[in-house]
Amino acid sequence: MSIFSGLEDIVNENCSLGSYTWYGLGGNADFLVRPQNTEQLKAVILRCRENDVPFRVLGFGSNLLIGDEGVRGVVLKLEAEEFCSFEFTVNTLVAGAGANLNKLVLDSVRKGLSGLEALTGIPGSVGGAVRMNAGGSFGDIGSSVRSVTVMDKLGNIFEKEKPELVFDYRWVNVTAPVVLKATIELTESDPDAMLKTVKEVWIYKKNSQPLNTKNAGCIFKNPRGMSAGALIDRAGLKGTQMGGAVVSEKHANFITTEKGCSSSDVKKLIELIQTKVRDTFDVELELEIEMW
């Protein structure tokens, strides 16, 4: 009998994951599960616990590399309406983990509510953005998040608020495996001025990042006081290719892919970059991209 007996409508076995990531790479998941509500999500998590089956949550796959061998266990996709809904109330936005971050940025600007403009052009879901404190040169999401609602491995739901909720560079102190929603504080501002900021951020990214390519954003975190991209560039690695994976000529902290590329190609190029930067500058580059 299947461990997901009674939940067959939301479970796909041996499901390809490549199409769910921006790289378009990766093997199959043993189970891809799409809960339609919080009750089903809890049921799946408890089944996983009872049967000692690991699980992960897949957002928009914009900062993720899935191995060619695929993923053992369960991959959860929170794409049902309950997980993707959001609501603006006065100066607060409550957004589900599956909500589209780019849409929220634009909607808040149209409403004259400031706080998310720095996230312009960052693809992904709210849950993924919170999990890695998404941001860039202009700011990060953690500065605006007031609280996060999560589900633990026992299916319990609880809220973590500031100051207990702490954000740092590409990090948040949330250990629960599932982010359900985030409450974001916004402030009233001039929509025209905000729109100008959004355009400036977008132009900056268009000019400095390889946006029209298959990539997964920055591969490495910036070492304290340094730029990972500059280190890779100074190591002479721009344009370096491993199979179908290439260090971007436009921004060295991006790895783009060509036709026929495999996840293995990207991983080998990542290792080459880390080794060269370590040998040249005695600096260890830490991954920003998530690898499954």
Whether the predicted pLDDT of 206 surpasses 90: no
| pTM listed for this prediction | 0.91
Q: State how far the Cα of 274 lies from the Cα of 286, in Å rounded to an integer.
A: 8
Return the C-alpha torsion angle 240, 221, 67, 120, nearest 10: -100
Specify whether the CB–CB gap between 170 and 288 falls below 8 A. Answer: yes
Specify whether the CB–CB gap between 100 and 116 falls below 8 A. Answer: no
Q: What pLDDT does 175 receive?
A: 96
CA atoms within 13 A on the CB side of 96: 15
Mean pLDDT along residues 56-62 = 96
CATH architecture assignment, domain 82-196+200-206: 2-Layer Sandwich (3.30)
Whether the predicted pLDDT of 1 surpasses 70: no
Which amino acid is residue 213, in one-letter code?
A: T
Whether the predicted pLDDT of 136 surpasses 90: no
Q: What pLDDT does 282 receive?
A: 97
Q: Read off the tokens for 1.
A: 């009998």
The secondary element (H helix, E strand) that includes residue 181 is strand 178-185
Per-residue pLDDT tens for 77-104?
999 999 999 999 989 999 999 999 999 9
- Output the CATH code of domain 210-291: 3.90.78.10
Q: Which of 159, 132, 122, 128 is nearest to 57 (CA)?
A: 128
Collapsed DSSP state (helix, strand, coil) of residue 118: helix
Mean pLDDT along residues 240-252 = 97
Which region among 31-35, 68-72, 205-209 has the lowest average model confidence (pLDDT)? 205-209
Strand ranges, E, within 200-285: 241-242, 245-247, 255-257
Collapsed DSSP state (helix, strand, coil) of residue 110: helix
**Binning pLDDT at 50, 70 and 90, where does residue 213 land?**
confident
Q: Where are the domains of the chain?
A: 8-77, 82-196+200-206, 210-291
Q: Name the class of domain 8-77.
A: alpha beta
Cβ neighbours of residue 239 under 8 Å, at least 6 residues apart? 246, 247, 249
How does the average pLDDT of the chain come out, rounded? 95
